[in-house]
Structure 1
Amino acid sequence: MPASAAIAPEQLRLSVAPMMDWTDTHCRVFHRTIAPHARLYTEMVHANAVVLGDRTRLLAMDPIEHPVALQLGGSEPELLAQAARIGAGHGFDEINLNCGCPSDRVQAGRFGACLMREPTLVAESVGAMIEACDVPVTVKCRLGVDDDHDFDHFLAFIDTVAAAGCRTFVVHARNAWLKGLSPKENREVPPLRYDWAYALKRERPGLQVIVNGGIATEHEATAHLDHVEGAMLGRAAYHDPYLLHRLDVAWFGGALRTRGDLLRALRPYIEDQLARGVYLKHITRHFLGLFASERGGRAFRQVLSEGAHKPGADWSLIERALALTEHPAVAA
């Protein structure tokens, strides 16, 4: 059985998690602008939607985003293989299978975190995806579901999928509760066990392991690099995107830029999108947290939140918001 194509280790060090309703193409272009070396992921897209749906919308991607991965949901090997082939054909650098989402809707479709209980099906799916495309096929998973608290059970899941050719695993280092917790609670309530991800790397050194879950500071992210290939940030990268920039500079080099400089670097993209008929609010929503905890940050968010949805809103609104961070007295 063929193994998945390899991913260069430096491309795994820093990544931004796939997040439903958040990591669309506008978000990813922003993240690429502030973190040139981060690996980016799409929102999860169901394989059936990729095969039968509006690919122009679902697979929208700007060339600046590379390297960028398409995350697929699904549990039918043949359908996943078709979607993987289509995704690779659209230029995605990686196809990732979601085995970690705990939402009721996902469970009803028999995919996401409930696949942790069906390692053979995951292996069949991964094998079919690898056969169908020539880009790396990876898996994002949890440690287990509900009361699965046996490391050997987790390791057996990984081994079964690895035997199908998967070499790269993104481990959200907590269990998923399929009943009784909301998706939000599933990101916060089950305890984090990074030591399981570390142990996986020690036990299976030939695999590439990325840790995800609860990483909120530069120090926490950096500490993971002593044990695994990379750290994947989720909510922290979205709500405090300057953290992503600081990590990129600290780990890969380059000069630390101001928040204003980073945002102004996005101006050509924003104006191009506005010319295409995109409303400003669809872009600005992704960088409302850029000035989190900074002077003028609240006024910055307020100006964008109140103005970006209005007809004719353009770059001048962003400059007005930036002015409140650069000359906070204006906001008084």
Structure 2
Amino acid sequence: MNKKVEKSDIYRAARLSVAPMMDWTDRHCRYLHRLMSKRTLLYTEMVTAPALVRGGARHLLRFDPAEHPVAVQLGGSEPKELAEAARMAADEGYDEINLNIGCPSDRVQSGCFGAVLMENPALVADCVAAMIAAQPAEVTVKCRIGVDDQEPAEILPAFIETMRGAGVRRMAIHARKAWLQGLSPKENREIPPLDYQLVYQMKRDFPDMHLSINGGVSSLNEVETHLAACMDGVMIGRAAYHTPADVLLDADQRIFGETTPPLDRFEVVDAMRPYIAAHLAEGGRLHQVARHMLGLFAGLPGARGWRRVLSEQGHGASAGLEVIDAALEPVRDPHRALAV
């Protein structure tokens, strides 16, 4: 799938999505993930509206057409600026434009966007309404169930209602609170308890909304459980990055009903070769791509050797495809793998 998708297709793609993750889901990562699943919806890292509109950083929107269906996540809190950023993203050809109302980092809070905006749903409504009016791509929201001392059972339905009133029809809900003070971003992904049942209730209360659940999902078995429970979609984060083959290689068959056999891990590596070669020819470095491939053989004999070779040999200015070949040796040779 290498062209912009129809709305009905992206709703189906949202049955499973890979979450936007800073420093991880860049264009190289997304290309790798797309080789493993043709159907899963992929998200960019968060791109701030000020960087695009005031900073001229349009290069941050670059993506390969093969990545479709692909969504860009924007961060910001100024409606006119977000509208302009959304227009730029739509011009680049993204299938969806998502607004970040979930990130709890200090850097995001200082810019007055991310999870802190759950305290100001009226402003968020102004933002998404402006983004919707500015361009044709669908605008969605990713949020938490609440922040700090907010009561999720009260704040979340009101927040969803406000988003619906502003024209949003699809949301991804991280089933944890965000604590804006006292917890690091990493701790905010692990310490606040998950409340899947509350998110399930939101789907029952808002049957016309397309709602995806996010947070703590680590396998396709769990994805299937959430879909069977009532959710329209499931967004999976760190597991899709650290163990991508376990999550994505069978996703098209299990989640989307495809009958074409998936690639195996070695076929994925072979399919990455032309992409890596093109990246190197443009002056890029091997590690910029290879760092996203470290978890490809996770759980298999020789995986540690694969990671070590890529990590130790992939950073040099002259590192090329020969490093990939060397890294494959431990996983191709089970006997040697046991000693690596």
TM-score when normalising by structure 1: 0.96
Cα distance in 1 for residues equivalent to 2:152 and 2:250: 36
Counterpart secondary structure, 1:299: helix
Matching residue within 286, 310, 317 for 2:316: 310
- Which deviates more, 257-266 or 133-142? 257-266
Alignment match, 2:3: none
Counterpart secondary structure, 1:42: strand
Does residue 220 of structure 1 match 2:222?
A: yes
Does residue 233 of structure 1 match 2:233?
A: no
Residue 313 of structure 2 aligns with an amino acid whose one-letter code is: G
Q: CA deviation at 1:56?
A: 4.5
Q: CA deviation at 1:7?
A: 4.8
Tell me the number of residue pairs that the alignment of Structure 1 and Structure 2 aligns.
328
Query: Aligned in 2, Cα 1:295/1:238: closer, same or farther, shift over 3 Å?
Result: same
Alignment match, 2:254: 250
Equivalent residues in 2 for 1:48-197, closer than 5 Å: 48-197=50-199
Equivalent residues in 2 for 1:282-301, closer than 5 Å: 282-301=288-307
Could you tell me whether the CA contact under 8 Å between 1:20 and 1:43 is conserved in 2? yes
**Deviation per CA, 1:254-304, whole angstroms, max 9, x where unpaired?**
213321111211111111111001100000000101111110000000000
Residue 236 of structure 2 aligns with an amino acid whose one-letter code is: L
Equivalent residues in 2 for 1:263-282, closer than 5 Å: 263-282=269-288
Counterpart secondary structure, 2:45: coil
Does residue 322 of structure 1 match 2:328?
A: yes
Could you tell me whether the CA contact under 8 Å between 1:304 and 1:321 is conserved in 2? yes
Alignment match, 1:40: 42
Residue 153 of structure 1 aligns with an amino acid whose one-letter code is: I
Cα distance in 2 for residues equivalent to 1:56 and 1:308: 28
Unpaired runs of 5+ in structure 1? none
Does residue 199 of structure 1 match 2:201?
A: yes
Unpaired runs of 5+ in structure 2? 1-5
Could you tell me whether the CA contact under 8 Å between 1:7 and 1:136 is conserved in 2? no
Cα distance in 2 for residues equivalent to 1:19 and 1:7: 25
Alignment match, 1:10: 12
Q: CA deviation at 1:63?
A: 0.8
Cα distance in 1 for residues equivalent to 2:156 and 2:255: 30
**Deviation per CA, 1:144-203, whole angstroms, max 9, x where unpaired?**
001222413210011011101000000011100000000000000001111111111111
Cα distance in 1 for residues equivalent to 2:292 and 2:152: 38
Q: CA deviation at 1:6?
A: 4.8
Cα distance in 2 for residues equivalent to 1:6 and 1:326: 42
4+ runs deviating over 4 angstroms: none
Alignment match, 1:209: 211
Cα distance in 2 for residues equivalent to 1:54 and 1:330: 50
Q: CA deviation at 1:206?
A: 0.4
Could you tell me whether the CA contact under 8 Å between 1:48 and 1:79 is conserved in 2? yes
Could you tell me whether the CA contact under 8 Å between 2:70 and 2:96 is conserved in 1? yes
Q: What is the RMSD of the two structures over their aligned residues, measured on CA atoms?
A: 1.3
Cα distance in 2 for residues equivalent to 1:55 and 1:71: 15
**Deviation per CA, 1:78-114, whole angstroms, max 9, x where unpaired?**
1000000011001111110000000011111111001
Counterpart secondary structure, 2:35: helix
Query: Aligned in 2, Cα 1:13/1:281: closer, same or farther, shift over 3 Å?
Result: same
Could you tell me whether the CA contact under 8 Å between 2:101 and 2:144 is conserved in 1? yes
Counterpart secondary structure, 2:249: helix
**Deviation per CA, 1:45-78, whole angstroms, max 9, x where unpaired?**
1101111234443111111111111100010001
